[in-house]
Amino acid sequence: MQQETTHSINFGNPNIFGLSAFGFSLFLLGMEMVVSRDIAGGALYGLLLAGILEFLAGMWMIAKGESYLASIMTIFGAWLICFFLLMTHGKSIDVFNGASAGWYMLAMEVPIAMLAIPAFMQKKGVLSAAFICLFALVFALGLGFILASTGVLGTSPPHITLRPETQARQGFQECLTF
């Protein structure tokens, strides 16, 4: 009779790793919105860094066997990485605008709602409240991008619009408007 052994991987705490990355990206984006638009490039690369770190934290949680939290971190990490790509490569191939960013944000509402269901079912109050706030934040951001691109809220922010002279041949670094 063969004996089964299960090894529990018990190294480090990926939760703080992923949450710190998320906080870092929110801080940079908040500084860009409130303090100065001059840090738009830093905030953009902060999104990429946070996305990569959150995705890695999700993979780390999968290795530890925490599938629910791993799903949350991995999905949000991939979402941030793709948002970075939309804002950089999307500008270089001329497919990024306020409406595309807004609809990309609103498309995330479905995964947020699906990920929130277990938190509500298990009566995890803090996590449920976080999902409610995150749902509202993503909805407001998406709606803001869409309304700004249609001119309802006035002109779109300068870091969203493309300069006419910026084309795909100049690469995505030239597409960032400050």
Residue corresponding to tokens 């934040």: 137
For 100-132, write each residue's pLDDT tens digit: 888 998 999 999 999 999 999 998 888 899 899
For 9-43, write each residue's pLDDT tens digit: 567 778 888 888 888 887 877 777 677 777 777 78
Checking phi first, is residue 97 left (phi over 0); if not, alpha (psi -120 to 50) or beta? beta
Both structure tokens of 141: 């951001």
Return the domain boundaries, the chain: 12-96, 97-161
**What are the residues whose beta carbons fall under 8 Å from the beta carbon of 146, sequence distance 6 or more?**
98, 99, 102, 103, 106
Q: Which amino acid is at 66?
A: E
Residue 178's CB: how many other CB atoms inside 10 A?
10
pLDDT of 172 over the 50 cut? no
Cα separation, 13 vs 1, in Å, equals: 36
**Candidate from 68-72, 143-147, 172-176 with smallest mean pLDDT:** 172-176
pTM: 0.73
pLDDT of 45 over the 60 cut? yes
